[in-house]
Structure 1
Amino acid sequence: MATVPNHPPLRSAGNASHFAFAAMTSLFFIWGFITALNDILIPHLKAAFSLTYTQAMLVQFCFFGAYFIVSPFAGKLIERIGYIRGIITGLCTIALGCAIFYPAAEIALYGLFLLGLFILAAGVTILQVSANPYVAILGPERTAASRLNLAQAINSLGHTLAPLFGAALIFGALQGGEAVGARAVQLPYLILAGAMLVTAVGFLFLKLPVIEHHDTPDVHANDSIWSHKALVFGALGIFLYVGAEVSIGSFLVNYFAQPHIAGLNEHQASQMVSYYWGGAMVGRFVGAALTRMIAPIYVLATNALMAIVLLITTINSSGELAMWSVIGVGFFNSIMFPTIFTLAIRGLGPLTGRGSGLLCQAIVGGAILPLIQGLVADSVSVQFSFIVPMLAYLYIGWYALVGSKRPARQMEVPVSL
């Protein structure tokens, strides 16, 4: 009985695929950079428009809401126009969203900021739906998780540098007065719009490998993605992972300020939070190497277990032990998104774009789990509320060892470049 490649062949090999991967990492940097700018944008808009915390948090709801609304359409778009044109479309959409910030600041209208942010996030969503599966497919299946981990490490670099850019160009521009504060976002977001257009033109002229999908006896374009259990379980895994990561990060400043934990002021606590995100960046470089030598399911299961142990420790301790335990979760978060993603889209063939859309749609967990943890924190305590992400990691461990397995008929032999 003939076997079918697990991923579609490329019209290229060797150095061409390495060049394509290098080009893709620039996209991971871009959306990491833009996503992290929200951390600067939120307090800026809150001050400029005298918003309540709930009103300011609409920034995150619009951002993550775009993933939920746009992802399924983005998946279908990629099926029609292909990955490269999808990337160019995503970059141009981001540029449009950034450009809207200029008139929004000029007329000082918060609702227009939110519209621009939604459009910007829609572009990021299209970019992710295009680039994540492209990187996963750009080589042998056995190293797909490693490639995505390395690309996500570059994403973390963008996440680390963006606050410095925002602090210098947004807060540095504030000279007092509400109108001046609103206009402070014009220059940085115009710079971003220009950078997105230049990058889109660059991708238009790059000669990148073209991915061609071929139907197999088991996977056809008219199949339903809901019939692929590993994909559906993986979507829930992405929902819980993103929710857990964002939820933990959202509570760290308040947690570290508590007298029995660290008693830090806001400035000191904010500096400690950088270790949480920095750990994720370091962990992704380490994970890129580990997933080449060890089956990704075992690396994912181990990291989920370590995250659970660290959260149990922080819930039941105090002082520096509690503080460093929760910070350490960042390191073990590192490989989860790319590993869950690659496990979920294996063997989808022509459904890969649609499956990628579902997985990106699940990123809406970043808007939901923090609310749940907030309810627990209000009802019991901030320290006990970390049980919410702990339960999320419990599911991720199950997915690694059980939920990610595919039926034997879908197991295919990968083709190496």
Structure 2
Amino acid sequence: MSQQTKWSQFGVLIIVFFFWGFVAASNSIFIPFCKKFFNLDQIQSQLVGSAFYGAYFYGSLILYLASAIGGTDLLNKIGYKKGIIYGLLISVVGALALAFISGSGNATFGLVLLSFFIIALGFSLQQTSAQPFAIALGSPETGAHRLNMGGSVNSFGTLLGPLVVSVVLFGSVAAKKEASITNIQTLYFFLSGLFLLAAAIFAFAKLPKTTSNEKLEKSPKALYTLLIIGLIFLPVLFADFVKEQTGISKTAIVIGSLVIILGILFTSMFLASKNKEGWGAMQYPQLVLGMVAIFVYVGVEVTIDNNFAALLKLPAFGGYDESQIAHLVSLYWGSLMIGRWTGAVSVFNLPKSTKRILGLVVPIVAFGLILFVNYLKGDNVVNEFLPYLIPIIIAALAFLFAEEKPVKLLLTVSVLAAVAILISLVTTGMISNFAIISCGLCCSVMWPCIFALAVTGLGKYTSQGSAFLIMMILGGAIIPPAQGAIIDLDQARLAAGGGEGTNFTHLSYILPLICFAYLAWHALKTKGVLKSQGLDIDAQVAGGH
């Protein structure tokens, strides 16, 4: 008899899914604000995301390192429930630090980055605990349903985050106030209170002390590789300090770190193919390819949005002030919600005809919710957003065409996203803006596709492989400043007295184009790797219908 989902307990758990989305998407508004307030260049402003997503990597690495040294799975020892509580308390420390710093009158960008790092460090522990906990709160067969529901709540958080933070920083549309660092004090005191409340709810809620019985698989070579990656990334976090000490430009630091990290991963795959001993999950090429793909996917999803404000400031793309971009940012993150809600239809046991109908109805309903939330904020965006129905319908048809097959779906949306970026590069105005925003529809379903392909055939290394994949959220910390480095070429030209020339801010979206092209190649390459091992996940999915 299958175990029934404990919905009352799961209802408590999904609180943290909302927090992750709310805070992560809020970075989109906070970054241009910090750029203006602290007088930063584009690379420096992207360090907000670097601190945030870098914390996910270091948090996961610290947990894995502690487990390896102790010879036991640390999270398994304390339990998922306590892991979430401890993670929430760490985030409380970061949120309170940011609140006090913003109200002190002595705020520095370095202290802001440290606060964001601590908040995300807590998120790292929460996410590492919550995802397997969600699967454990019921039958394993329905675990995907609960994760999809958690993802839907996460996406709702990403929709609300930019709008709420915009109101806090800049006031309502009718009466905008001058943005000040002290404006965020109330928000982060409120968030710290919510984190504390959530921790208390988890502490007193009757949740099982759920853990995994999987044995900790040792993999010293993989551990050394991840430690080296962690060291290579550090100069990015301290780019200004490294530049002062060595004279190496921030652009060289960021691009160099990016190239070296990707080189290390591909070299590891080559070495593991020669001698599998000591590599653990990384002995499987599909896992290492998946690590690179997660790195690229998270990086491109974040960079498209985090650098969007710089593009929107240009007259050819609307000439928006940072106080006026929240509705477009929310549409980007709302696009991920549209895609995830549409993708969630596939996990329910419904007739094929019903799934097809819902596959067209759900995205329209989700789009209506985005319009409604913006209306509540005070933005009348209906006429401006109506043309966006075209990419929504195209994406919905693409999902139906892919038939829920991971390789086919990943290849389809990667090609569509690449085409969208190409359109954005040869156009201006709202056509270009919508083309960029529509990449959110494509990104929405990439994570589960990449993840499923990467862990296929890993056997006893599946849990370890999953941990390695989550660490590759690091891509969100380094690809955005790499695009920022291209954008800064505009400022360098103007500082040198140059006039009109290449618009590097617009041209910088070539980097997302490269990322999507790589993800399309990844889908085909991984399919070939799995077939060489006698595995064909698309055929398995097709056979299950």
Structure-1-length-normalised TM-score:
0.79
Q: CA deviation at 1:122?
A: 0.5
Matched, 1:101 2:98: yes
> Contact 2:217–2:464 at 8 Å: present in 1 too?
no
Q: Which amino acid aligns with 1:130?
A: S
Distance 2:47 2:187 in 1: 21
Q: Which amino acid aligns with 1:106?
A: S
1:34 — aligned with what?
23
2:184 — aligned with what?
185
Q: Which amino acid aligns with 1:116?
A: S
> Contact 1:135–1:144 at 8 Å: present in 2 too?
yes
1:78 — aligned with what?
75
> Contact 1:234–1:341 at 8 Å: present in 2 too?
yes
Label 1:24 to 1:392 Cα distance change in 2 as closer, same or farther (>3 A).
farther
2:217 — aligned with what?
221
1:282 — aligned with what?
338
Cα deviation per residue 1:64-111 (whole Å; 9 max; x = unaligned)? 221232221234442443322221221111111112224423362424
Matched, 1:91 2:88: yes
1:118 — aligned with what?
117
Measured on the aligned residues, the alpha-carbon RMSD in Å equals 3.8
Q: Which amino acid aligns with 2:17?
A: F
Q: CA deviation at 1:20?
A: 4.7
Distance 1:276 1:268 in 2: 15
2:298 — aligned with what?
242
Q: Which amino acid aligns with 1:153?
A: S
Larger RCO of the pair (alpha carbons < 8 Å, separation 6+): 1
Cα deviation per residue 1:275-327 (whole Å; 9 max; x = unaligned)? 22221111110011146672333322222222122222323445554333222
Label 1:270 to 1:95 Cα distance change in 2 as closer, same or farther (>3 A).
closer
Matched, 1:265 2:320: yes
Label 1:255 to 1:24 Cα distance change in 2 as closer, same or farther (>3 A).
same
1:341 — aligned with what?
451
Distance 1:391 1:245 in 2: 13
Structure-2-length-normalised TM-score:
0.62
Q: Which amino acid aligns with 2:190?
A: I
Q: How many corresponding residue pairs? A: 394
Distance 1:43 1:391 in 2: 25
> Contact 2:298–2:473 at 8 Å: present in 1 too?
yes
2:417 — aligned with what?
307
1:65 partner SS: helix
> Contact 2:169–2:183 at 8 Å: present in 1 too?
yes
2:512 paired residue among 373, 378, 389: 389
Q: Which amino acid aligns with 1:271?
A: H
Label 1:114 to 1:308 Cα distance change in 2 as closer, same or farther (>3 A).
closer
Q: Which amino acid aligns with 2:187?
A: P
> Contact 1:146–1:291 at 8 Å: present in 2 too?
yes
Q: CA deviation at 1:24?
A: 3.3
Question: Which ranges of structure 1 fall in alignment gaps of 5 or more residues?
Answer: 1-10
Distance 1:386 1:248 in 2: 8
1:399 paired residue among 519, 522, 525: 522
2:481 paired residue among 347, 368, 371: 371
Q: Which shows bigger deviation, 19-28 or 400-409?
A: 400-409
Cα deviation per residue 1:23-61 (whole Å; 9 max; x = unaligned)? 332211111112233344445555665656555443222
> Contact 1:241–1:396 at 8 Å: present in 2 too?
yes
Q: CA deviation at 1:272?
A: 3.1
| Larger-Rg structure | 2
Distance 2:325 2:99 in 1: 33
> Contact 2:81–2:207 at 8 Å: present in 1 too?
no
